[in-house]
Amino acid sequence: MSSDLSILSLVTQASLVVQLVMALLLAVSVMSWYYIFRKVFTIRLARRQTDEFEKAFWSRPDLNALYQSAVNARHETGSLERIFEAGFRDFVKLKGQRAADPSALVDGARRAMRATHQREMDHLESHLNFLASVGSVSPYVGLFGTVWGIMHAFRGLANVAQATLASVAPGIAEALVATAIGLFAAIPAVVAYNRFSHDIDRLAIRFESFIEEFSNILQRQAVR
């Protein structure tokens, strides 16, 4: 009985529909774990790059040197440094126009930083919707497989003269494996989604604060 009710035996002996549901859930689970590990490294790198640029920005008052450093290492810069680069580039370009109003200089730089900020947030939030979908849909997909498997098991009892627990248990156990796999796919996705959303929100707050602080610095630069 123990060998007949092993997990591998339950999967191989399940009906075709239940097996397809299990295969789908396993594939989704593998994809979600791939995105989870990828997002862990992405957010960790973004946090480290943000810390490094904030330290360099507040310790080096020379904005031109920071801008040249950002331009020269454009493919290695972090999100916050790219926001700074966009704002300062637009500020310098508009300041070259002698008739430019100081408020227009700052507004143009702020709009450039906002646009870059949105692109960086889109990059950081990529694939979060997939994790949210996996976390919310996988239990229901597994439940569908379970319901279908239980229906299949009870249909098989229609031709049995006397139904016993031993005859119905394997079919129900096969069906419940689908629900277990659905939860196995959903729980890590939900936990990861909540954690990543929190970390990205913290980064977004830091980006927003930098934009406002840098805009104040540019305001003082514009009136000189």
User: Mind listing the pLDDT tens digit for each residue in 136-154?
Assistant: 999 999 888 888 888 877 7
- In 3D space, the residue among 85, 46, 51, 50 whose CA is nearest the CA of residue 66 turns out to be 85
pLDDT band (50, 70, 90) for residue 3: very low
User: Which range (51-65, 102-116, 152-166) has the least confidence?
Assistant: 152-166
- In 3D space, the residue among 218, 219, 222 whose CA is nearest the CA of residue 57 turns out to be 218
User: Mind listing the pLDDT tens digit for each residue in 151-205?
Assistant: 877 776 666 656 565 666 666 777 788 888 899 999 999 999 999 999 999 999 9
CA distances 212 to 30, 71, 113, 184, Å, are 41, 22, 10, 43
Residue 74 has a pLDDT of 72
The CA distance from 38 to 59, in Å, is 32
Q: Please give the residue that has the higher pLDDT: either 211 or 97.
A: 211
Q: Please give the residue that has the higher pLDDT: either 30 or 218.
A: 30
Q: Which residue has the tokens 């950081």?
A: 124
Whether pLDDT at 30 is above 80? yes
Q: Which helix (H) or strand (E) holds 92?
A: helix 79-95
What's the pTM value of the predicted model, to 2 decimals? Answer: 0.82
CB 91 within 8 Å of CB 109: yes
Residue 99 has a pLDDT of 56
